[in-house]
Structure 1
Amino acid sequence: MVFFHGGGFVLGSVDTHDALCRQLCVGADAVTVSVDYALAPEQKFPAGLDDCVAAIRWAREHAAEFGGDPDRVALAGDSAGANLAIVSALRLLRTAGLSFRALLAAYPVTDAPDLARASYVERGAGFGLTTQAMIWFFDHYLDEPGRASDPDVSPSRSPDLAVLPPTYVVTAEFDPLRDEGIEFARKLAAAGVAVVHAHHDDANHGFLSWAGTNEPSQVALDAACAWLTAQLG
Structure 2
Amino acid sequence: MGKITLRLRTFFLIIFLLGSSLTYLTAKNKTVALSITGVETPVSCFNGNNGAIDVSILGAVETYTVSWSGSTSTSEDLSGLLAGTYIITVTDSENTVSQTFLISEPYLLTMQAATFTPVSCNGSSDGTITAGTVAGGNSSYQYSIDGTNFQASNIFSGKPAATYTIYVKDSENCETSKNVTVTQPDVLIMDDPTFTPVSCNGASDGTITAGTVSGGNTNYQYSIDGINFQASNIFNGKPAAAYTITVKDSKNCST
**Quick check: TM above 0.5?**
no
Structure with the higher fraction of residues in strand conformation: 2
TM range (shorter): under 0.3
> TM-score w.r.t. structure 1 length?
0.18
Higher RCO structure (Cα 8 Å, ≥6 apart): 1
TM-score where L is the length of structure 2: 0.17
Larger Rg: 2
